[in-house]
Amino acid sequence: AKARAVHMRASAVRHVRTAQTLQANGDYMGAIRHLLIAHWRDPKLKEADDLLERVRLEAARLSVQKFAETRRNIDPRSPEQVQLQRKLLLAEQQMNDGKIAEAEHTLHDAELTDKDEPRLTLLQARLSVARGDFGKALAQLDNFDGIAVTAQDFAEGEKLRASVQYTIESSLGKKRSEIENDLDQQRFATALESSAEGLKLDNENPEFLYFAAANSCVLRHCATAEPLLRRFLEVTDSAQGDREQRLMAMQLLQASAAAAEEKQEPKKAEKGAASWFSGAPVGAGVYYDPVSLAFQTKVTKIEASDHLTVLYEWSENQLRSVHAKHEEKQTGGNIARLMGAAVASGAGISTTVNWKTAARETNDFFFNYYDDAPQILKVSKESARVESRRIPISIPGVGVYGPFAGVGALGALSNIGRLGAMTKLGGGLGGLAGGGLRGLPMGGGLPNMAGLGSLGGIGGAGNSAILSRLAGSGRMSGISGFASLNVSKPLIPSQNYSVVSDPKGGSAEGFLTLWNSPRLDTRLAFKVTGKRAAVGFSGNKYFHPFAWDGIHLFELDYDDEGRIAHAWELDAPNAPRLDFTWDGQRLTRVAGRDESGAVVYSRTLNYSGDRLTSEQISGQGGSSHIEYKYDKQGHMVEASADADHTLDGRSRKVLFFDEDKGKH
């Protein structure tokens, strides 16, 4: 890889030297061809960018002279021109007032009158700026350079250009940092939104292309990522390409292909029971959901020692709440205190009786499900509805004003040969339009050049189409025509869709993310960030099926079959790692291990046919046992659990929902 990078940098320098010679001989198009190759092979070669900008400006100067001839006979006092200028002034005022949609409509009307009017292009650039589409605005200003006939027009365009370039250069690093921070905090929807905004600054910036594609895939919109991934791989096939990101992009590309196939042929819903917690299918004889570890037989009531009662509230196949109520009667203690006070009084000792009322403790758990999926989204202590908010994602078109898209449009440049005596460009331009692109590297060089040829010959002022820019701050805005380039027809179309916003507070507020989350692909999230994104819940620290002492959230690690393999309790650094053993979909063992790997907790599950018969628990607090009972029809009806000193030391009697009678 190192030798390849050295070779590509040296090749880039050779192409710059060739371009300098061609420029000196007036063969601007030949120079451009070699400068493009140079930039492709070494994007950080500033010499190539600077020279291309000089070539662009010289070509723009020649284009203006030709364009001025086509506008010479236009009467500015004609009714058409007066009405046109009024529309342009109106659009300008609308933009000043922030009425962007109205301004766009007005400019569209003006374009129908005279699409070659120079100020129309300038105002379209201003409209792009108002929308935050700075990369597109810069391409439009490049076009404007080739038709800005008056010095005043050119100066106005340069003033706007300076503002746009400053915004781009000052925003790129900030936007990149925002995205990296969002990814670190696993705010994938926010990171995608920021990536789309970054592409509006520079629509072929490799990092923004990668981030936009990666976050789209993580958020289960991988089908939309395919064109972004392909463009990323094209623009990073250079001396500066990040090998790890390119390898990840190739994996994501495979995922996007699979997503596209699934979108065309959706999977048929699996028949059978579904987990009330995760919505995942569970087979016969499966008592613990492999995706969430939730106990599947519906509990109606738990009576525990030390005056604890736990009640479950169900709505069909969804658990809505669990209420754990502890009530300790203090009558005996009050009598003892009264007798003690009487004895003290008889001995001449003054005392005060402290009456103790009944101690009551209620521990409530409320569950919110996704709006569009039978899976728990959030666990909380209070009953509150979670409202999902969708955020719009607008990814600009990629390629039309990127570094290589303009090459296809260069076919229109053949007409510049008509400048004749004005310049020595004839051979270079004609040669480029008539096959002068031969020799551009394919595969390892400029991508998809043949397909771009269809962009050539775009009408309007296209007969004077020259170039767009590639220079400046590592931007890759590329080559395009001037007024000829219709930037509303990108090679890769723009994308507009919406995603659900990141849950406010994330797991700290009780939001869960399981392996089969409808919002987030936890496997891709781990590949992209190197951090696990799956978060699960239990009412206790060991996933005991009937103990509820608080909200315990866990970082989850799944195996290739979507079963929880390991769990780490969040915000509990001294808690053991939990390991889970499975036989198909059946949980067979839970083991808690300390930092040394020693087993500090163990729970073994015993089965007889399709029935879970018992669970044996051992730990530092001693051992205990859970036994399950069934009726004659084979339905689980009751469970009894010994005092479990690995948790709260309580024994429990568990009653289950009567499925046949539909009663608790």
Band the pLDDT of 635: cuts 50, 70, 90: very high
Band the pLDDT of 444: cuts 50, 70, 90: very low
Residue 59 lies in a domain: no
Q: 90 burial class (0-12, 13-18, 19+ CB within 10 angstroms)?
A: middle
Position 25, amino acid: N
- Report how many domains make up the chain: 1
What's the domain range around 595?
Answer: 299-391+503-656
Element (H, E) at 555: strand 552-558
Look-up of token digits 């078109």: 397
3-state secondary structure 164-199: HHHHHHHHHHHHHHHHHHHHHCCCHHHHHHHHHHHH
The per-residue pLDDT for 591 is 98
Residue 595 lies in a domain: yes
| Mean pLDDT of the 62-70 span | 90
Residue pLDDT, tens place only, 104-116: 999 999 999 999 9
Is the pLDDT at 229 greater than 70, yes or no?
A: yes
Lowest mean pLDDT among 28-42, 88-102, 325-339, 434-448: 434-448
Residue 567 lies in a domain: yes
Element (H, E) at 311: strand 308-315
Q: Percent of the chain at pLDDT above 70?
A: 78
The per-residue pLDDT for 370 is 95
The per-residue pLDDT for 649 is 94
Residue 35 lies in a domain: no
Q: Are 32 and 467 in contact (CB under 8 A)?
A: yes
The per-residue pLDDT for 345 is 44
The per-residue pLDDT for 25 is 87
Residue 9 lies in a domain: no
User: Which DSSP letter does residue 360 get?
Assistant: E
Is the pLDDT at 377 greater than 60, yes or no?
A: yes
State the chain's mean pLDDT as an integer: 81
Q: How far is residue 181's CA from residue 584's CA, in Å, rounded to a whole number? A: 39
How many CA atoms does the CB half-sphere of 7 hold within 13 Å? 5
Is the pLDDT at 347 greater than 80, yes or no?
A: no
Q: 272 burial class (0-12, 13-18, 19+ CB within 10 angstroms)?
A: exposed
The per-residue pLDDT for 260 is 75
When mean pLDDT is compared over 33-47, 474-488, 633-647, the highest value belongs to: 633-647
Residue 232 lies in a domain: no
Choose between 208 and 425: higher pLDDT: 208
Residue 183 lies in a domain: no
**pTM, whole model, 2 decimals?**
0.78
Q: How many helices (H) and strands (E) does the chain have?
A: 17, 17
Band the pLDDT of 239: cuts 50, 70, 90: confident
The per-residue pLDDT for 126 is 97
Q: Per 3-state DSSP, what percentage of the chain is helix, strand, and coil (rounded to 5)?
A: 45, 20, 35
Residue pLDDT, tens place only, 8-17: 899 999 999 9
The per-residue pLDDT for 432 is 34
Residue 310 lies in a domain: yes
Residues with Cβ within 8 Å of 44's Cβ and at least 6 positions away in sequence, in order, are 239, 240, 474
Residue pLDDT, tens place only, 381-417: 998 888 778 999 988 877 644 333 333 223 223 333 3
Of 442, 438, 376, 370, the closest CA to residue 410 belongs to 438
| Beta partners for residue 312, in sequence order | 322
| Mean pLDDT of the 535-551 span | 97
The per-residue pLDDT for 662 is 54
Gyration radius of the chain over CA positions: 35
Q: Can you say whether the dihedral through the CA atoms of 113, 117, 121, 126 is positive or negative?
A: negative
Band the pLDDT of 474: cuts 50, 70, 90: very low
Cα-based distances in Å from 314 to 172, 294, 299, 420, 544: 51, 15, 9, 84, 20
Is the pLDDT at 271 greater than 70, yes or no?
A: no
Q: Is 301 helix (H, G, I), strand (E, B) or coil?
A: strand
